[in-house]
Amino acid sequence: MRKLVPTSVAALVCVSLAVTSGLASEYTLKIFGNANMDEVIDEADIEYMRGIIEETNEVTELADANYDGVVNQDDITQIELIIAGEETELTLIDGNDRVVTVPRPIERVVSISPEAIRIMMALREVNKLVAKPLHATQYIFDMYPAAFPESEELPVVEEDNPEFILSVDPDVIFMYSPSSDRADLLQEKTGIPVISHKWLPTWDSTFSTMELVGNVLGNEDDAESLITYCNEKLDEVAETIPMIDENEKPTVFFISRIEGDTILTHAHYDSVGIAGGRLVTKDLPASPQPGGTVWVSVENFIDWNPDIILVARSSETPTTSVEDILSDPRFQTIDAVMNRNVYYTISGFTYWMNDCPRSLIEVLTMANTFYPNEFNGVDIETTGNEIFERFYSVEGYWTELGNKLDLI
């Protein structure tokens, strides 16, 4: 049967407790055929469909399993095929609430989304990739060459080149889009199903994309396993953080880069809250910018007066360095600067990242920074290597990356 683990990290952020499956009743598997609107397609959906046909149950949004505009016996047949894994088509709702029908099986994939490629790597499905986006080389394949050496042979695809996309004959296209417009346009130009997802610095967003990619590729079990693994690692951090009042937690400001009198930061960054910190920008409106970034003034930064400053570092030469912050005369009254509590962070949720193993390690290192006494015995290097191996089958990668970026 098709089942996905509902996420509950949002609850963890609020109360700093372990991740649980407490939101199970609120999660809906967005595949047509999930007639009873729960988290799984199974025999219960067939029974619910019989009730719809007999007019004892209400028609639900996902009841039209074969998506032909009519709810009848044919939909029961489609649900039976889905349960058996024998459907020839599957209709679902993507990350931008678009209804998309994909063929079965999926053998050839074009992804304009680096995040979807990373998930394909973790699901051991990346061999289906027939073209890669420009950013994938720098931010994925150059980083993890051992994970998919065949990437060197893949052609580079651009979103505005539908002719090329058609030439490589994909079954489906993955893309990032903050709204449905771009995905609709590309699907119209190519006639190929386009699955779009949003990109936010939250675990809910990451898990939703994992679920979506797993559903499309017919690899729901591995997607479920991956989400469970992430939740277990987040649990380990949450269970080590001391149970203290919210107002006693350290205040944190996240810096992507500084340009003159403005700072690129995040209005929301789940990992800070999970690690037991209070993000001072959390009350800012959500940003439509990629990755949820937002520009704020230097004056606001100074007024927030954070206890800890985290500086994004995804390369050997960061755009803004820790030393830049510590030496800037404008910042000398900020508590974090006066106490020299300014640190690099691996920035797993920034720019073209949304890189789950980096984000898991980031939560662990943040927690160690916020609560060093509680995490004194935690071997972050060993755990980091284990995490990368789980996702990308690359041994010892955190040791290599962490040393390169001065994070170990």
For residues 306-319, give the mean pLDDT. Answer: 90
* Per-residue confidence (pLDDT) for residue 291, from 0 to 100: 63
Residue 282's identity, in one-letter code, is K
Return d(Cα 240, Cα 115) in angstroms, integer.
Answer: 29
For residues 310-322, give the mean pLDDT. Answer: 88
Q: Which residues pair with 93 in a beta bridge?
A: 99
* Per-residue confidence (pLDDT) for residue 288, from 0 to 100: 62
Return d(Cα 201, Cα 392) in angstroms, integer.
Answer: 21
pLDDT band (50, 70, 90) for residue 407: confident
Closest CA to 151 of 161, 140, 162, 167: 140
The answer to whether residue 84 sits within a structural domain is no
CA distances to 2, 69, 208, 357, 386 from 119, rounded to whole Å, are 18, 33, 11, 11, 17
Identify the domain containing residue 324 by its residue range. 243-404
Residue 9 has pLDDT above 70, yes or no: no
Same domain membership, residue 269 and residue 190: no
Dig out the tokens for 197 from the structure: 């997802």
The set of residues, in sequence order, having a beta carbon less than 8 Å from that of 344 and lying 6+ positions away, is 310, 311, 312, 313, 318, 322, 405, 406, 407
* Strands, E assignment, 231-341: 251-255, 257-259, 262-266, 278-279, 293-297, 308-312
Same domain membership, residue 188 and residue 132: yes
* Per-residue confidence (pLDDT) for residue 300, from 0 to 100: 96
Same domain membership, residue 302 and residue 193: no
Return d(Cα 61, Cα 51) in angstroms, integer.
Answer: 15
The answer to whether residue 236 sits within a structural domain is no
Residue 25 has pLDDT above 60, yes or no: no
With contact defined as beta carbons under 8 Å apart, do 207 and 12 qualify?
no
- R_g (Cα) of the chain, nearest Å: 22
For residues 197-222, give the mean pLDDT. Answer: 91
Same domain membership, residue 264 and residue 159: no
With contact defined as beta carbons under 8 Å apart, do 283 and 226 qualify?
no
* Per-residue confidence (pLDDT) for residue 390, from 0 to 100: 96
Same domain membership, residue 353 and residue 262: yes
Same domain membership, residue 325 and residue 392: yes
Residue 8 has pLDDT above 60, yes or no: no
* Strands, E assignment, 147-216: 156-157, 172-176, 194-197
The answer to whether residue 52 sits within a structural domain is no
For 246-304, how does the pLDDT look when each residue is reduced to its tens digit (9 = 90+)? Answer: 899 999 999 999 999 999 998 888 899 999 999 999 888 876 666 678 899 999 999 99
User: Count of CB atoms within 10 A of residue 171's CB?
Assistant: 19
Q: Which of 33-42, 127-136, 173-182 has the highest mean pLDDT?
A: 33-42
Closest CA to 372 of 329, 326, 308, 312: 308
Same domain membership, residue 326 and residue 259: yes
pLDDT band (50, 70, 90) for residue 174: very high
For 331-370, how does the pLDDT look when each residue is reduced to its tens digit (9 = 90+)? Answer: 999 999 999 999 999 888 875 668 899 999 999 999 999 9
For residues 172-192, give the mean pLDDT. Answer: 93
pLDDT band (50, 70, 90) for residue 32: very high
The answer to whether residue 352 sits within a structural domain is yes
Same domain membership, residue 299 and residue 171: no
The answer to whether residue 22 sits within a structural domain is no
Closest CA to 35 of 54, 20, 52: 52
CA distances to 34, 212, 358 from 345, rounded to whole Å, are 41, 28, 10
Q: How far is CA 354 from the centre of its chain?
A: 5
CA distances to 63, 70, 71, 91 from 67, rounded to whole Å, are 9, 7, 9, 7
Quote the number of domains for the chain: 2
Same domain membership, residue 350 and residue 280: yes
The answer to whether residue 208 sits within a structural domain is no
Q: Is 70 buried (19+), middle (13-18) or exposed (0-12) by CB count in 10 A?
A: exposed
pLDDT band (50, 70, 90) for residue 15: very low
* Per-residue confidence (pLDDT) for residue 91, from 0 to 100: 98
Same domain membership, residue 247 and residue 390: yes
* Per-residue confidence (pLDDT) for residue 349, from 0 to 100: 80
Same domain membership, residue 249 and residue 383: yes
Task: For 52, list phi and psi in degrees, rounded to 5.
Answer: -65, -45
Computed over every residue of the chain, the mean pLDDT equals 89
Pairing of the two strands 156-157 and 172-176: unpaired
With contact defined as beta carbons under 8 Å apart, do 357 and 346 qualify?
no
User: Which has more confidence, 201 or 104?
Assistant: 104
